[in-house]
Structure 1
Amino acid sequence: MLATVYKSIPHVKITPLKIANSAFKSIHSQCDRNYPLEGVRVLDLTRIVAGPYCTMILGDLGAEVIKIERPGSGDEARKWGPPFINTTTETAYFVCLNRNKKSVCVDLKSQKGRDILYKLAEKSDVLVENYVPGKLDEMGLGYEHFKGIAPHLIYCSISGFGPDGPYRNKPGYDVIAASMGGFLHITGPQGGEPCKAGVAMTDLSTGLYAHGAIMAGLFQRTKTGKGQKIDCNLLSTQIASLINIGSNYLNTGKEASRWGTAHESIVPYEAFPTKDGYYTIGTGSDLQFQDLCGKLKRPDLAENEKFKTNQLRVKHRIELINTLRSIIVTKTKKEWSEIFEGGSFPSGPVNSLKETFDDPHVKEIGLVQNLEHPVAGTVRVVGPPVKYSDGGNSVRSPPPTLGQHTKDVLETILKYSTKQINDLKKENIIQ
C-alpha cells in the first residue's frame, strides 16, 4: 500500500513530491501493471447503489475492495428481491453492484469494531461511505477521526445533499434528487406526467463522479503525499447533469418542458412507431436529413421549403413528424434496420431486454460475463464498458456472500490470531 511506503521512509529529507513519486514507483514496481489500481486498497462502507457502483468500478480496475457490512443483515440491497437468483436468497439487485469485492462483517457501533476499521484504514488507501452527513462523526468514524490515524487516506463521502446547506441532514434517494434537481420535470411524455428514468441514473452518475474524484485524489497524493476528504452528492450531480437544459435556463431564462423521446432543438430526433414496436431516428444535420429522406424514398421532403434546414424543421415539427410517422409505421423494426444500414444518420430499434442481450454486436464484444457464485451458482453480469489497450479492468470474482471474507481479511491484513477472531465472534463484533 502507498500508506506502507510512506511510513517506511519518514526520515528521508526530500520534498513531498519526491516522497510521493518514490512511493508510487515502489508500489507499482511490485505489482501487476495490467491493472491501474493494483496495490490500492479500498474500504467500502457504502450500501444501495451510488456508493457500491463507485467501488465496483474501482474493483474492476484492480483495487482490493473490502466491503464493510453490518453483521446479520449487510447491505440493504441484499434484501431487495424478488427476483432472486437460481431460487437462492441472492438478489439480482445486489449482484449487479458488488463484484470484485470482499465482504467483512463488523459491528461499527462497538469500540472493538471501530478499532478494526481504524487498523484497516492504516493499511488502506481509500475509504468510501454514503451515510447521512454527520452520522459517522457521531460514531467516531468521520474524516477527522481518520485523518490523524491515516493521513494518507482518500476519504470519499457520498450523500444526498452534501455536508453543507439546509438539506445536509436530509436523507436522499435517486428519485428524490432527480425530482428536486429538475430531471423529472423534463422527463416524460409531452404534456403528460413527470417520469423517472428506467434505472437510477442520478445514483449511477454520482458513483461515476465519485470514482473519478477518487482517482484524482490518488493522483494528487503522488504529488503531495497527503490524503484528503472528497464530498459527492446526488443533488449536485443531478443539477450538473442538466447540461444544455440547465444552460438554457441560466443564460436565457428559458424554462424546460417534457418532450418524450423527442428533442427540443433537433427535428427529427425521436422514437417512431413501427409495425412491431418503436424505432429511433436522429438527424443532427441537414445532410443527414437528406440521407434519411433518400432512404425513405421521399426526396421531396428534403426539397420542401418548410424542411430544408433544422430551424425550419423545428418550426414545422408537427407536420413533418406526422408525415414521417405515417411512413415508418408501415414496416417492422428489422426491415427499417436493413433499409437504414450504412446511413449517415444515427438510428436504432427500441429493444426489449431480450433483444438487447441477444443483439449480435453485444454478443460479439463479450460484454456479458459468467461468474461462479458460491451459493447461487452461475451468475451473469454486465462487465466493464471501458476497454484499455494495456490490461485495464476485468470481472475477477463474484459478489461476496455476507461476511465471506471476514476471517481472511483479519488474518492476512491485520494478523489477528485464531483466538482473537473467535473471541470477536463470540462477542458478536464480527460475523
Structure 2
Amino acid sequence: MSPLSGVRVLSVEHYGAGPYGTQLLADLGAEVVKVENGAAGGDYSRSVGPYLLGEGDSQFHQTFSRGKKSVNLDLKSAAGRARFERLLTEADAVANNLRGDQPEKLRIRYADLAAIKPAIVCAHLSAYGRGNARAAWPGYDYLMQAECGFLSLTGEPDGPPARFGLSMVDFMTGSLMALSLVSAVLRARQTGQGCDVDLSLYDTALHQLSYPAVWYLNEGLRTERLPRSSHPSIVPSQLFRTQDGWLFVMCQTPKFWNLFCEAVQRPDLPADERFIDPPSRLAHRDALQAEIEQTLETAPSAHWMALLAGLVPVAPVNGIAAALDNPFAEEVGMLNRVDHPQREGGLRMLSSPFRVDGQRPPNRRAPLIGEHDDEFP
C-alpha cells in the first residue's frame, strides 16, 4: 500500500507550482482530483507548447499531472458549486495555486468550507501570499528569483544577472505545499479540526537565501557572485576547465583536498605555503585555480572522472542530452514510459524521485479534462 493511500485531494490548480506539489502527493498514493473548468480550457498547462498532444493536452501538462484524475466543474456556477461541495464531503484537502485574492472570491478557504466538513485542510499556494498588500499581484518564479537576490548570485561576476535554468522556486514551493498539506491532514485526522495552510513563491524564495541571509542579517556580509560558480568560503569548490570541457570539483573537507591532489599527481600543492590550510587556500583562490587547471587541461574530462569518481566529490558538466542519456539514470530507474492515446509507443518520462519499500511508484498519464466525471458525479 502506498503511504498516502486513502487520502483524497481536490485541486484547483494550473501551470507549474501547484501541480508539481500535488503530483508528489499522487506519486505517494494520494487520489488527486483536478477541478477544471472545461469551458475555459481547464488547467492552462494543457495548452503550453511547443509539443501539444491533441486538443487539451501537452507534454508540459503531462510533466506535472501524472497519475491524477480530472472533473469538469465550474466553481462559479451554482451547479458546479453544489457538485464541488458534494465532492468535498469525501475529501481530505482542497489545494489551489491561485492569486492570493482568489480563494476568498471562490470560497475555498477553511472559513468557507468548515461548515461542510470541519476536518478539511485548505492549502493555498500563491505568488505573494494572502491578506497582505500584494495579495492581488500576479507573480511567477523568475520574478521571485529576481527580487529575492537569486539573480545576483548566479553567473559570472562580469556578466549580467542570471536566473536558474529551471523554475526551482516553483518546484520548492510546490514541495513545501505538499509537506504542509500532509502535515495538516495528519492533525485533522487526529483532532477532526482542519485549517488553512499557506505557501507563497516569495516566502519560499526568501527562505532559500539560507546562510547568506544569516551572514548579512548578523554580520552585514553581502555574498556576491564569484568566478567559476565558486563556493563563497571553501576552496577548491568550483568549475575547472579540462582538455575538452568542464568539471565541478568540491573539496569540502581537508580529506578530499588531499585525496584530490594525490589522484591528479600534484603532491606539491598541499605542501605549498599558499595552500597549506583552508584559510590559505581561500586567500589564494586565483593562484590555486591556475595550478589545478594547468593539470586538468592536459587530459579530457573522462580521464579525470575515471581517476576521481567515487573518491572525491566531482561531476562532469553535462547538457540536458548527456544528463538524460547517462547510463546511471537508467540504472536507478529514473526514466520510464507511459501510454498515451496521442503518442504511438507512449511518452518517455522521468520517474518519481520517491522509493517506497525499494520501489518507485508507477507512472500513469495525466488525465483529459473531465475524464473522471462519471466517477465523481
Moved more, 331-340 or 204-213: 331-340
Q: Which of 102, 122, 125 does residue 92 from structure 2 map onto?
A: 125
* CA distance in structure 2 between the aligned counterparts of 1:200 and 1:80, rounded to whole angstroms: 15
Match of 2:245 in 1: 277
Which residue of the partner structure matches residue 387 of structure 1?
Answer: 355
- Which residue does the alignment assign to 2:317? 350
Asked if 2 retains the 8 angstrom alpha-carbon contact of 1:134 and 1:142, the reply is: no
Q: Secondary structure at the match of 1:379?
A: strand
| Cα distance in structure 2, aligned partners of 1:38 and 1:364 | 28
Distance in 2 between the 1:165 and 1:322 partners?
51
2:49 paired with 1:96: no
Amino acid at match of 1:194: P
Q: Does 1:371 align with 2:343?
A: no
Instruction: State the 1:221 CA deviation.
Output: 1.7
2:186 to 193, 199, 219: 219
| Cα gap change, 1:271 to 1:80, in 2 (>3 Å) | same
List gaps (5 residues or longer) in structure 1.
1-33, 411-431
- 2:158 is matched with 191
Deviations 1:89-148 (A, max 9, x none): 742211111101012121222111111111111110111011112223223333321111
TM-score norm. by structure 1 comes to 0.83
Matched, 1:83 2:57: no
d(CA) in 2 for partners of 1:228, 1:337: 51
Q: Determine the C-alpha separation between the residues in 2 that align with 1:313 and 1:150.
A: 61
Closer/same/farther in 2, CA of residues 55 and 185 from structure 1, 3 Å limit: same
CA distance in 1, matches of 2:290, 2:370: 58
Q: For 1:342 and 1:129, how far apart are their aligned partners in 2?
A: 43
Q: Does the 8 Å contact 2:223/2:232 carry over to 1? A: no
C-alpha deviation, 1:261, in angstroms: 1.7
Q: RMSD of aligned C-alpha atoms?
A: 1.7
Within the candidate set 215, 221, 224, 1:254 is matched to 221
| 2:127 pairs with 1:160 | yes
Structure 1 counterpart of 2:251, one-letter code: T
How far off its partner does 1:286 sit? 1.7
When residues 233 and 202 of structure 1 are mapped into structure 2, their CA distance, relative to the original with a 3 A threshold, is same
CA contact (8 A) 2:110 2:121 kept: no
Structure 2 Cα separation of the partners of residues 242 and 334 of structure 1: 34
Q: Distance between the aligned counterparts of 2:104 and 2:95, measured in 1?
A: 14
Q: Which structure: larger Rg?
A: 1
Ranked by relative contact order (alpha carbons within 8 Å, sequence separation 6 or more), the top structure is 1
Q: Distance in 1 between matches of 2:313 and 2:356?
A: 26
4+ aligned runs moved over 6 Å, structure 1: none
**Equivalent of 1:403, from 356, 370, 376?**
370
Q: Which deviates more from structure 2 when the two are superposed, residues 363-372 or residues 373-382? A: 373-382
In structure 1, how many angstroms separate the alpha carbons of the residues matched to 2:42 and 2:319?
A: 33
Give the Cα–Cα distance (whole angstroms) in 2 for the partners of residues 221 and 144 of structure 1.
15
d(CA) in 2 for partners of 1:95, 1:340? 38
**Which of 257, 272, 290 matches 1:289?**
257
Q: Counterpart of 1:383 in structure 2: which amino acid? A: S
* 1:306 partner SS: helix
Give the Å deviation of 1:403: 2.2
Per-residue displacement from partner, 1:333-383 (whole Å, max 9, x unpaired)?
Answer: 21111121342x200101122221222221111111111013334012211
Residue aligned with 1:406, SS: coil
Number of matched residues?
374
Query: Take 1:332 and 1:84, find their aligned partners in 2: how far apart are those partners?
Result: 40
